[in-house]
Amino acid sequence: MAKPERNKKPQQAEERDDGMREKMVAVNRVTKVVKGGRILGFAALTVVGDGDGGIGMGKGKSREVPVAAQKAMEEARRKMAKVSLKNGTVHHTVMGRHGATTVMIQPAPEGTGIIAGGAMRAVFEVVGVTNVVAKAHGSTNPYNIVRATIDGLSKVNTPSEMADKKITVKLVKSIIGTKQDHRATVRGLGLRKLNSTSELVDTPCVRGMIQKVQYLVKVEG
């Protein structure tokens, strides 16, 4: 069974001749117990990006750190995906999740820089995000944080995509006796009576309103 013993901090992103940015997020020393004794080795976690919305992550194992890192880099390149960015930041606030980790990623104006922890910062640096405010909650496992960050970035939509994406909201519980601001939120969603529905553009604002009165409504689309 592999047992993690050491976790190194992310290193500075390295840019290759092909323009790809590579960064080591963590290296764990692991021990595998076999019949003849124990085998020592290393497990590397890396991220690779093109600096323009392309991002991938990979893991690699070997008895030597350079070999483990190379395996991880190769896997990250094979699993590259594209995310939507705008002038070095994200279009809107998004949430990303993986396992026991949840991250919130918020757009930021020019000059803000990257306000985020080590593993998240590594992802932002290689993908091309230069201004962002992000925070992780729950597990601090680097693997979980990287996966959650990429999950969040994958949910970013351009304004045109958001305009084309619509959801149907249905009022499934009476608003009688509820808080005044909750009743106002329901009306703001275009719902006037029980079992009425409203088709809305799926935006962070609308999602926030739905979250506020989630015990009263149901999303059908």
Domains of the chain, first to last: 14-82 (3.30.160.20), 94-158 (3.30.230.10), 160-219 (3.30.1390.20)
Give the pLDDT score at 11: 55
DSSP string, 31-75: EEEETTEEEEEEEEEEEEE-SSSEEEEEEEEESSHHHHHHHHHHH
Query: What tokens appear for 153 in the block?
Result: 């970035």
Per-residue model confidence as pLDDT tens digits over 150-196: 999 998 887 777 667 888 999 999 999 999 999 999 999 999 999 99
pLDDT at 2 over 80: no
Per-residue model confidence as pLDDT tens digits over 126-135: 999 999 999 9
CB-based burial label for 152 (10 Å; 0-12, 13-18, 19+): buried
Per-residue model confidence as pLDDT tens digits over 26-81: 999 988 888 878 889 999 999 999 999 999 999 999 999 999 999 999 999 999 99
pLDDT at 115 over 90: yes
At 170, is the secondary structure helix, strand, or coil? strand
4 pLDDT tier (thresholds 50, 70, 90): very low
Give the pLDDT score at 38: 87
pTM beyond cutoff 0.75:
no
pLDDT at 202 over 50: yes
Give the pLDDT score at 23: 95
